[in-house]
Every structure is written in structure tokens, then in C-alpha cells.
Structure 1
Amino acid sequence: MRTGSEPRTARSALRARLWLCLWGLVWSVFGTAAFALAGRPGWAAACGVLWLVVTVDLASVLRHIRQGPHYQPGPDVPPYRPPEQRGR
């Protein structure tokens, strides 16, 4: 149910995605290097593709974080009315 305070109290998962991207970046770089040194080019290529995907996701997350908060309705915008309870 909406209370009308969501724009002020909403939280974003961008920071969590940032840390997960960094964790994935570290492991994909490590996996690419380790498999390349071990002579496993197929697995090294798979980790390299994952490295590329993680890097693109990290760039997207950083872009969204840098954009900052978007439009938030002011106090003059009334909150939604709660849905009416049926059966009461």
C-alpha cells in the first residue's frame, strides 16, 4: 500500500549493484588470467566475456549513480489514497 512518502523514503539498490559488479570484476579478471596461464583458452575466453559484461554493467551503474536523484514530487502533490478494503 502506498503512503505517499515513497519518493522521499525510497532506497536504491545501485550501491549494492556497484559492490557486486566490483566483486564480479575482480573474479572475472582473476579467472581470465588463471585460465590463460593454465592453458585453458576456452575457459579464459568465457571469463573474458564475463569480464566484458561486468564492465558494461559497472559503467551503467556508475552512470546512474552520477545522474543523481530524478524528479521527486514536492509537498504540494497529494499522496495516493489507500485502496478501499472490500468486505468490511
Structure 2
Amino acid sequence: MRTGSEPATARSALRMRFWLSLWGLVWFIAGTVGFVLVGQPGWAAVCGALWLVATVDLALVVRHIRQGPHYQPGRDIPPYSPPAPRR
């Protein structure tokens, strides 16, 4: 249930998800290159597929971070009213 105070009280895990995606991206790139160099094409393909997934996830996280604090997950959720200016 929504209380209406979510914009002021919500905590976002987007920054943590960004760094975890970046960490995974580094490992998947290293894994792909490493498995190609040792001649394991199957494992290289698995790491390559995970590399693609991590890249898409990273792009979505960056997009959501750039949308700002009023990102709305769907059409069925009404938009928040703008925050009151601070005095």
C-alpha cells in the first residue's frame, strides 16, 4: 500500500545496483577474454551472454538514475505531486 510519503522517505538501491552491474561487467569481460585465450568456446559464450545481460542492466540502471527521484514504474501508478519548496 502506498502512503504518499514515498518520495520523501524512499531509499533507492540504484547506486548499489550500478556498482554491482559494473563489477559483474568487468568480470564477464575478463572471463570471456580468458576463456577465448585458453580455447574454451562454450564457457566464453556463457560469459559473453552474461556480459550482454550485465550491459543491458547497467544501461537500464543509468537510465533510471537519470530520470531522477520521480521515476514511475508503470501506468497504473499515479504520478507524485511535486515536492514542496523548502524555506
Instruction: Classify the TM-score, shorter chain.
Output: 0.7 to 0.9
The corresponding residue for 1:23 is 23
Query: TM-score when scaled to structure 1?
Result: 0.75
- Work out the CA distance in 2 between the residues paired with 1:49 and 1:62: 20
The corresponding residue for 2:36 is 36
Q: Which runs of 5 or more residues in structure 1 are unaligned?
A: 77-88
The corresponding residue for 2:61 is 61
The number of aligned residues is: 76
- Work out the CA distance in 1 between the residues paired with 2:34 and 2:65: 32
Higher alpha-carbon Rg: 1
- Work out the CA distance in 1 between the residues paired with 2:82 and 2:50: 42
- After superposition, the CA RMSD in angstroms is 2.1
Query: TM-score when scaled to structure 2?
Result: 0.76
- Identity, in percent, stands at 71
Q: Which runs of 5 or more residues in structure 2 are unaligned?
A: 71-78
The corresponding residue for 2:80 is 72
